[in-house]
Amino acid sequence: MMMVVTVMFISGCLSYSLKRKHLLSMLISLEYIVISLFFFLILYLVNYNYEFFFTMIFLTFSVCEGALGLGILVMVVRTHGNDYFQSFTSLY
């Protein structure tokens, strides 16, 4: 099972680095990485018979990260009209 989580994490990192043209695809890849880390955390805690309170904290932070990413995406689409990274410039 640990091998599946490792493959999930590596494929998420690979898709994050390859799909860097759109902000939305990067956010989806980032959420995929967070899910794979959550599965790894669950497997780790089950293996050593620890409590699962930390998973709730992790889920809270990952939900906040997702909401912040979607808020940034909405702001960028409203200001620039699309989510391409090539259209962002600081020369205005």
Q: Is residue 65 part of a domain?
A: yes
Q: How far apart are CA 85 and CA 66, in angstroms?
A: 19
At residue 9 the predicted structure's pLDDT band, cuts being 50, 70 and 90, is very high
Q: Is residue 20 included in any domain, yes or no?
A: yes
Q: Which domain holds residue 13?
A: 2-87
Whether 11 shows a pLDDT value over 90: the answer reads: yes
Indicate the average pLDDT of the chain: 90
Q: What is the pLDDT of residues 60-80, one digit of tens each?
A: 999 999 999 999 999 988 988
Give the domain CATH number at 42. 1.10.287.3510
- In the predicted model, what is the mean pLDDT of residues 46-67? 92
Quote the pLDDT of residue 89: 64
Residue 92: inside a domain:
no
Higher-confidence residue: 86 or 81?
A: 81
Q: Does residue 43 sit within a domain?
A: yes
Domain count, the chain: 1
pLDDT at 74: 93
